[in-house]
Amino acid sequence: MAELTLRAVGRAHPDTVWFRYTSFRQWPAWSPQIVRVETRDERIGPGARGTIRSFLGVRAAFLVESVDDERRTWTWRVRLGPLRMRLTHEVRPHRDGTETRLGMQGLAPVLAAYAPLARLALRRLLTP
């Protein structure tokens, strides 16, 4: 199992960034690889599960493991067939607005393939 951490800083306020993370309806607005989120939940929370629909009709199942609103951290697992990733997100105030970190665990080729999309999504997440 490989690990990779991405970090980004942007001008959006930490409250805005956290809201964009915690509201499933917001995900397609900042994450270009997500076309739609199918879930019964409005907001991320432990045990929330569903399916992410991506471009080209790709569907990936997810399960939110943990959420800490006070520390603005959350962890979830994503599965696409036999491929699995565990992702941990953090949102922190920064002198320039907000810093976010994304820790990823999975097979090295999967992380390498996903990293460019994740970097783009983080930049968009942090845009005011």
Percent pLDDT > 90 in the chain is: 97
Residue 21 to residue 16: CA distance in whole angstroms: 9
* Beta strand spans in the chain (E): 2-10, 34-39, 49-54, 59-68, 73-80, 83-94, 97-106
Read off the pLDDT of residues 54-106 as tens digits, 9 standing for 90 and up. 988 899 999 999 999 999 999 999 999 999 999 999 999 999 999 999 999 99
Tell me the C-alpha distance between 50 and 127, whole Å. Answer: 26
Q: Which residue has the higher pLDDT, 68 or 1?
A: 68
The 8 Å CB, 24+ separation contacts for 69-72 are 69/18, 69/22, 72/14, 72/18
Q: Write down the pLDDT at residue 56.
A: 81
Q: How many CB atoms lie within 10 A of CB 67?
A: 20
Q: How much is the pTM?
A: 0.94
State the Cα–Cα distance between residues 46 and 93, nearest whole angstrom: 24
Handedness of CA 125, 24, 87, 90 (dihedral sign): positive
Alpha helices by DSSP H, listed for 12-107, are 14-22, 27-30
What's the sign of the alpha-carbon dihedral 8, 58, 67, 84? Answer: negative
